[in-house]
Chains A and B, each alone.
Chain A
Amino acid sequence: MSRILPYLLSGISVGGQYALISIGYTMVYGILRLINFAHGDIFTVAGLLMVYAAATMPLYISAPLVIILTIILGVLVEKVAYKPLRTAPRMSVMISAIGMSYLLQNTMWYLTGGLAKKYPTLPWISDKINVGGTTTSRVTLITPFLTVILVIFLVMLIKKTKIGMAMRAASRDFETAQLMGVKVDSVVSFTFIVGSGLAAVGSMLYFTNYATVTPVVGAMPGLKAFVAAVFGGIGSIPGAVIGGFIIGICESFIKGASWTTFSDAFTFGLLIVILGVKPTGLFGESLTEKV
């Protein structure tokens, strides 16, 4: 047990962070049918913003400020890069996302000079605690709980409110959704608000553990989170969360078993196997196209 526990803890913690990021992917995908490649970079920007904000102001101001700024950035990205392309071919929107990711990365690179910035220590949540004989920081324990609470809240929001139904309608057919009176732009903005907000929260938890922020640091967790979303069946929020935890925990155990060379490869391998068995992910709706 004492051998396994630390790996399990770190797996759950990383998994929770993946989960928070992957919700952003899955929601945007659910509605725009777009892999928002810039999402991982928005996550990184949130980290950098925190670096700068925490240098000049106390935490109780900087933390909410960073979340708000990240949300603004997320919505801005949508308005600039995706909204003008509503009627364009899907591939163009995808490219726009990749371009946006490039732009964010390169701008951060330019501003930071490509060097690692030290992430501020957030009091309380980065304190060390002792769980079952292993030392770990409090954030490790907080992450999964926070994730699950946020997700339950989100699922309720989407299931029980009109905006949830509007999102599902818009995801297939913008025009017809509009013909029902849905304000598609607001719905999309809402999606980005939620996604970016969660990415900002995720970034705080993530960087508290990992100390430094570089312009490309978001790329890998971004990709993993996306894989988590696909894994769970893209478009499904619970799927994304479960996918995130599975990937986080598997990764942690693989490293524990010293197959580190293949820890990333394993993630992707698992993905391919799952998709081979269930082509739309664990919880993805299988689309029957009637002919």
Chain B
Amino acid sequence: MSKNVLKVENATMQFGGVVAVDNMNLEVNEGEIVSLIGPNGAGKTTAFNVITGVYAPSNGCVWFEGDKIVENYPHGKMQKLYKGQNNGKYSHITAPTPDRITKLGMARTFQNIRLWKSQTVFENVLIAKHLRTTSNLFSATFRLNHAEEKRQREECDELLRVMELDGVRDELATSLPYGQQRRVEIARALATQPKLLLLDEPAAGMNPQETDELTAFIGKIRDNFKLTVFLIEHHMDLVMDISDRIYVLDFGKLIASGTPEEIQNNQRVIDAYLGVSNDA
């Protein structure tokens, strides 16, 4: 049994009265590709945001590689509003900013593409290496770090080659077609040298053809970079193709989990999410 990389424990995220994520528990094991699916507004993106530190959960905690990286309990205004369970189980606040979590080895892409718009593809990837630099302001300014800089540049070029983006290396990232932009976002996330890669709807806006390419691609990078992948997606072809396991979320609660076959035949999931004839 491989050890789990990510573990979300009793996580609840509440915005005012809206419970976006409700007492969620899940695990992602090393080397797996795990998908998170569910109807719109089920709380998938919110779950990602909790995991990556964008939001501090109202209650619950997140473990990464055996360390507790996020923990919170209802306090302040939330104390009165809190509707979830496990109230009182947690008593610490650990709320690192997203950059700290990324540094630990977790990287993500966004549902709405967020590339740095005035930068080329190469620069987008290179900037993501910043968190791995050991040079300080002084040594960086006066180029005392040229060895490291050179190494990072080479790594980035290598990454672009693997991601088949070397052809557009010096184009402005945001001038590329959608599909390639998604790939640049993935490359950028990989440049931070993560152990766990979180992808939020990587195939959104892609046509079936491109979606197929992406499917193959995700498998490839998992193997190449020895990653664990956790992804959100509405394209069922992709999800069913590559997932080792799937979690299904509805109204903030996990309603099912299992292998693709199990999920595809789960009546509750079909009713809530998949619909009868799976055409998408």
Contacts and interface: CB of A to CB of B under 8 A. Distances in A.
Interface of A: 291
A291 B109 CA distance: 10
Contacts of B49: 291
A291 B111 CA distance: 8
Nearest to B114: A291
Contacts of B110: 291
A182 B142 CA distance: 53
A291 B54 CA distance: 8
A44 B110 CA distance: 49
Nearest to A291: B54
Contacts of A291: 45, 49, 54, 110-111, 114
B219 to A, nearest CB: 27
6 contacts: A291-B45, A291-B49, A291-B54, A291-B110, A291-B111, A291-B114
A157 B28 CA distance: 55
Interface string B37-71: 00000000100010000100000000000000000
A34 B186 CA distance: 36
A116 to B, nearest CB: 48
A233 B45 CA distance: 30
Nearest to A288: B15
A21 to B, nearest CB: 36
Interface of B: 45, 49, 54, 110-111, 114
Contacts of B114: 291
A90 to B, nearest CB: 15
A290 to B, nearest CB: 8
A91 to B, nearest CB: 14
B144 to A, nearest CB: 34
A291 B44 CA distance: 12
Nearest to A290: B45
A291 B110 CA distance: 7
A286 to B, nearest CB: 13
A291 B52 CA distance: 11
A274 B100 CA distance: 29
A291 B49 CA distance: 8
A287 to B, nearest CB: 14
Nearest to B112: A291
A207 to B, nearest CB: 47
A277 B49 CA distance: 25
Contacts of B54: 291
A291 B45 CA distance: 8
Contacts of B111: 291
Nearest to B108: A291
A204 B187 CA distance: 62
A149 to B, nearest CB: 36
A291 B108 CA distance: 11
A248 B50 CA distance: 45
B58 to A, nearest CB: 15
A291 B55 CA distance: 10
In order of increasing CB-CB distance, the 5 nearest A-B pairs are A291-B54, A291-B110, A291-B49, A291-B114, A291-B45
A137 B49 CA distance: 60
Nearest to B110: A291
A291 B114 CA distance: 9
Nearest to B15: A288
A291 B46 CA distance: 9
A179 B276 CA distance: 36
A153 B69 CA distance: 53
A179 to B, nearest CB: 19
B204 to A, nearest CB: 15
A291 B198 CA distance: 14
A51 B185 CA distance: 62
A202 to B, nearest CB: 39
A233 B41 CA distance: 31
Nearest to B98: A291
Contacts of B45: 291
B55 to A, nearest CB: 9
B155 to A, nearest CB: 27
A289 B81 CA distance: 22
Nearest to B48: A291
Nearest to B52: A291
A277 to B, nearest CB: 15
